[in-house]
Structure 1
Amino acid sequence: MKEKYGIIDIGSNTIRLVIYERQKSGRLREVENVKVVARLRSHLTEDQMLAESGVSLLLNTLQSFQEITRYHRLERVKCVATATIRQAKNQQEIAEWIEANTDFCIRVLTEEEEAYYGFLAVVNSTPISEAITIDIGGGSTEITYYKDRQLYELHSFPFGVLSLKQKFVAGNVPTDEELELLAEYVEEQFHSLPWLLQRNVPIVAMGGSARNVVQVHQLMCRYPLAGVHQYEMKRKHLLDVRKLLISLPFEDIQKLEGLSKDRADLMIPALEVFRVLYDVVEASSFVLSRKGLRDGIFYEEFTQPFGTRVFPNVLQESFFELAQDYDIRLDDVEYVSHLLSQMVEQIRLLQLYPLTDEDVRDMKWAARVFYLGQYIDEESSSQHTFYLLANRTIDGLMHKDRVKLALMASYKNKPLFKQYIAPFSSWFTKEEQKRIRFLGALLKFAYSLNDTKRKIVQQIRWSEQSDTIIMNIICSGDFRAEEYQAEKNKKHIEKILKRPIELHFQQNE
């Protein structure tokens, strides 16, 4: 049986049970996600006690979760609580009631721990090396600043989207005056942290409110990709979502696709917090991290044996997971990368095409997942490769880079390339599209030189003779299979270089 882990997150707005299953790559895959909208914050009295109604609701919820954890035979379930329980003066009694009446032992996170785990989730699942992070919950808002993937500042504000609504908004939808007062209060709070001002870095947001903002925007622009993790928005896009929500009556907001009905009354206050923070930071973009507090807690636990809590290279980890999940032979990948290095050297030497270091890096990443769709079906491996890579979340790759990777790793011919890129054609200039095609064609050609997986090609030398490119390919064994495939695939390179290519295979004596 695969190992399973559970975590219960007792927030101010929702209480959630998530069960993960460890894959052969070591990655944790979510197999159950159960949410109860408890709004515990509304059960906190003026003298900061969680009322009996709130304690009863919490216990009932945890007892219902207990049935699920027992069914899955979970031996390890972490149970953490954030702002509302942290702020409750009777938190000790609450913890004792939970321990006496359920299988769970509650851990109340400090403000610093909550902020730190959010940072850990972001830095281990995105390629962004410097950012401001925000995790706005129901009763608190955690902000951090990190640079070069190291944490420099953190702070927890004692307000969240639920407490802001309670304080400033009388109905379900804020009036212009209420929104103005809310924005002034939040701006004053943010200005109390000098390290937030004019950073001009991305804001990486976590939590349900941020996720719902992204989902609404994706529907507004008919976004062609699956997934929200690492989705990027600009200030204009935040304002577009805000404008849409403000224009709708509350009943229509509740029906809006991409928006959780239970968050309908919280979305406009949350958006106002994001807008104000964007302006205070003078941010370069607004990026969603689907990984948050719960992931940060697991990152801490699973990275401890390695002596570091921050992955040396997020993308490297992702490619390792892909290799494990799709049975990719890393020795073949290394060999093809070696052949690519030889060809890049020759192309640069003869000045046949202006290949940048970024092109070479991208091509070698694509070499690691080239035609991974063969795992599903050999005949349509190109189609499966493109779909899997374009629609699978790859930590460390922003969405445009993910599509670029998918286009290169699935390259078969120009017509299929055009079919794949059609929904994303506005993302890439004509020159970028041509460059991606060339990199894909080089990659496909390099793989054809290892068609029998014997690694017999020892050296590749390119030269020019009149208008023709001569490729001398030195082999250590019978090369007929490789020669056949290479002759088939050279045409894709010829079309882009607009020059004929002659292949001269020879066996090394």
Structure 2
Amino acid sequence: MKEQEERRRVGIMDIGSNSIRLVIYETGNGGGYQVLKECRESARLSAIVTPQGDMPLEAVSVIVPVLKQFADVSAAYEVEEIRAVATAAIRNASNGKEVIEYLNRETGITIELLPGEMEGHYGFIGVVNRIDIEDGYIIDIGGGSTEVTLFRDRARVSTVSFPFGAVNMNVRFGNETTGRWDESSVNELQQLVLDAAEKHDWISQYPDLPMVGLGGTIRAVGKMHQRKLKYSLEQIHHYTLEAEDTDYYYQQLPAMSNDQRKRIAGLSKTRSDIIVPGVIILNTLFRYMHCSHYVISGTGLRDGLFFEWERGKDNVIVEDVLEYEIGAALHGEPLPRQRHLRWVQQLSSELYEALGEGQEDVSNRKILRTASLLYRVGMKIGYHDFEEHTRYLLTTRAVAGLNHRETVLVAFIAIFGSKGKIKKRRISTEYADILHPKDEERIRRLGAVLQLAAAMDVSETQPVDRLVAVRKGRDFELTVHCHTEASMETHEITEAVRDLEKEWDVRVRLVVHMVSKS
């Protein structure tokens, strides 16, 4: 009898300055993980800090029922551990220790008061394990603090936590009645940010690095920008922005009223007031640091805490972001399918090398490898029409390690062999804002390679032992060696060869060689 995989679950609670969140993760001993449940409640704890700097326990008590229900949710999902952390609002309160003791006593949850540097540390882990990036700055604008982290060669170099965020700066400088900010308020906050940044030389010593943004402010800016452009991909993770994109919101948002901002497409009504100080902080630091561009991360602190729980402190950074993501995607697949996908990937690689693409080899190899391993991911939804499910999953769920263009390329290469094929209109029109002019040809050529490789193992039993492929000009000699009966494969290979000939402008001489058992 097949041994059942052991599954483990953890609940990560983040008691932030603007909101309180719970994420329940599940992982298995075979590798991979998934998010089972997310809960969020608005808190705005930074707004209840008195002028004397303390948090009245009576005001804090409103979050006790929320934390208790989060604990109930965690129990319902049978988590083995709850890791609960509190960040800037409670950390910066003069009675922060008393607040933590009160919450521990009232909820029965052990809550850790996270130092600012550790908040930046976990945010860094959440970024580098989900975005394939070597060097950069990370900025995490929360409700009551802003963490700035420098990383080089995927290692954290420096972190600083500033005691200003979107909520507490809105309380300090914002207009509660109208929501409009006058020029003097904007300038005061900007100067406060600059004065703090200038105390840390490393913040301005590495110009032209990307700024990776975490938190609600940068995500809100990204969503507004996507809606403004009618962006074709439903993903915010790894979305990029240029300096002028945030300049626009820096110039436009402060003078608007809350009611006007609530009508902006892509901006949550609950963020219509605090978006202004958030954008001022973001824009000011970006300009001061002379960063090259923005990269939005959909992951951060909570993900970093999860990775430490799953992988341990000594091995918390994954070696290869994309490979780890692929492993997570294959997690839970039947073993015959996993063997099939690995074999299809090997065959597609051999075919591609034999065809001799030349330019952009590295990029194409990465895209083809990913598409080969994920082309059946849609079967997680259902077997029938799995190709359309695959396209849906790949274009709506971020694939860590891929940028948006690579994501679309992988999605359409993966479904090239589907019954309806790829319609030119869909590629050239639906994703024209993401793809390059020659990407349609790239999709068809790599898709034809994947289709042929998949045809060689349509039974998912690996009857093809090996292949020998040699290209001489337009002639492509392909000998397929089978170690067992392969009638299903023979038919599919013949069909797939026609597409390969068309897309690569080659003449295929196909020989299927059956190795007799003696």
Under a length normalisation based on structure 2, what TM-score does the superposition of the two structures give? 0.88
- For 1:91 and 1:375, the matched residues in 2 are separated by 46
Please state if 1:502 is matched with 2:506.
no
* Range with greater deviation from structure 2 (16-25 or 360-369): 16-25
Shift of 1:301: 1.7
**Which residue does 2:134 correspond to in 1?**
129
Equivalent positions of 1:43-62 (< 5 A) are 43-62=48-67
**Which residue does 1:324 correspond to in 2?**
331
- Determine which of 218, 222, 225 is the counterpart of 1:214: 222
* Range with greater deviation from structure 2 (391-400 or 131-140): 391-400
* Range with greater deviation from structure 2 (453-462 or 437-446): 453-462
- Determine which of 454, 457, 461 is the counterpart of 1:450: 457
Aligned amino acid, residue 153 of structure 2: D
**Which residue does 2:118 correspond to in 1?**
113
**Which residue does 1:418 correspond to in 2?**
424
- Determine which of 447, 460, 465 is the counterpart of 2:468: 460
Structure 1 residues 224-278: Cα deviation after superposition (integer angstroms, max 9, x where no partner) = 2223222221112223344553464321212434323222111021111111222
**Which residue does 1:482 correspond to in 2?**
489
**Which residue does 1:261 correspond to in 2?**
269
Equivalent positions of 1:18-97 (< 5 A) are 18-22=23-27, 25-37=31-43, 39-63=44-68, 65-66=70-71, 68-69=73-74, 76-97=81-102
Aligned amino acid, residue 354 of structure 2: Q
Structure 1 residues 159-206: Cα deviation after superposition (integer angstroms, max 9, x where no partner) = 112222233333422112321222232123223222222431111111
Please state if 1:436 is matched with 2:430.
no
* Range with greater deviation from structure 2 (149-158 or 271-280): 271-280
Equivalent positions of 1:108-507 (< 5 A) are 108-171=113-176, 172-197=179-204, 198-243=206-251, 245-246=253-254, 248-304=256-312, 307-327=314-334, 329-348=337-356, 354=359, 356-412=361-417, 416-421=422-427, 422-452=429-459, 453-464=461-472, 468-507=475-514
Aligned residues with identical type, % of pairs: 27
* Range with greater deviation from structure 2 (472-481 or 250-259): 472-481
Shift of 1:51: 2.2
Aligned amino acid, residue 408 of structure 2: V
What is the DSSP-based 3-state SS (H/G/I as helix, E as strand, rest coil) of the residue aligned with 2:253? helix
Structure 1 residues 67-100: Cα deviation after superposition (integer angstroms, max 9, x where no partner) = 5455556563232211221122222322332233
Aligned amino acid, residue 367 of structure 1: S
Aligned amino acid, residue 462 of structure 1: V
Across the aligned residues of Structure 1 and Structure 2, the Cα RMSD in angstroms comes to 2.7
- For 1:228 and 1:393, the matched residues in 2 are separated by 8
| Structure 1 residues 87 and 464, CA gap change in structure 2 (3 angstroms) | closer
- For 1:69 and 1:346, the matched residues in 2 are separated by 52
- For 1:398 and 1:261, the matched residues in 2 are separated by 29
Structure 1 residues 423-445: Cα deviation after superposition (integer angstroms, max 9, x where no partner) = 11232233232122201111111
Structure 1 residues 340-388: Cα deviation after superposition (integer angstroms, max 9, x where no partner) = 343234323xxx7656133123212221112333454445232222122
Structure 1 residue runs of 5 or longer lacking an equivalent are none
* Range with greater deviation from structure 2 (149-158 or 485-494): 485-494
Shift of 1:311: 0.9
Aligned amino acid, residue 157 of structure 1: F
Aligned amino acid, residue 163 of structure 1: N
| Alpha carbons 2:146, 2:163 under 8 Å: kept | yes
Shift of 1:49: 1.9
* Range with greater deviation from structure 2 (11-20 or 123-132): 11-20
